[in-house]
Structure 1
């Protein structure tokens, strides 16, 4: 099976499902007081969305296609990188309001 065959047989909802699973794992980490790991997973979910938007044809990306391909790739990757970099570089401070 070639890559083209795999991409054409991929269910339309699979890319969005993968991104949502990664984001859900990130939210679970955030809710269990591991906000940095969760934020990295959330940023990673956006980067995965950008990669999927690059690799998959327009009829197979499903709900990941919001605008034109270049705009989607730019937004997904930019927000993903920003979230990941912020999560990795913030070392001080507390969100404790107590």
Structure 2
């Protein structure tokens, strides 16, 4: 496992998260906003998991503050975005009766 960590480029975790977020943006821009929002929330959850599992010298640009704060912020915001995207119904968006 340590050999894998030593060969992992420093910017690979951030690149992986950005690829997921880019896929979410593409889905959002192609009129599939719910799937795109879930992918964006998922990208943040992946960032939280990577920040939790990888050592500080290998996490690259995902490290903003201390590890617990980063995991809490990434994971919390990712969960909120994903849950909101999955629970908003079409009647709430159209202004019709709930």
Normalised to the residue count of structure 2, the TM-score between the two structures is 0.91
Matches within 5 A, 1:41-60: 41-60=39-58
Unaligned runs of 5+ residues in structure 2 are none
Residue 6 of structure 1: aligned partner = 4
Instruction: Find the aligned partners of 1:88 and 1:12 in 2 and give their Cα distance.
Output: 33
Flag the structure with higher helix content. Answer: 2
Which residue pairs with 1:75 in the alignment? Answer: 73
Deviations 1:44-96 (A, max 9, x none): 0000000000110000000000000000000000000000000000012149x
Hey, what does 1:27 align to over in structure 2? 25
Superposition deviation, residue 7 in structure 1: 1.5
Say yes or no: does 1:37 pair with 2:40: no
| 3-state SS of paired residue (2:56) | coil
How far did residue 4 of structure 1 move? 2.1
Give the count of matched residue pairs.
93
TM norm structure 1 = 0.91
For structure 1, list consecutive stretches of 5 or more residues without a partner in the other structure: none
Q: Which residue of 2 aligns with 1:91?
A: 89
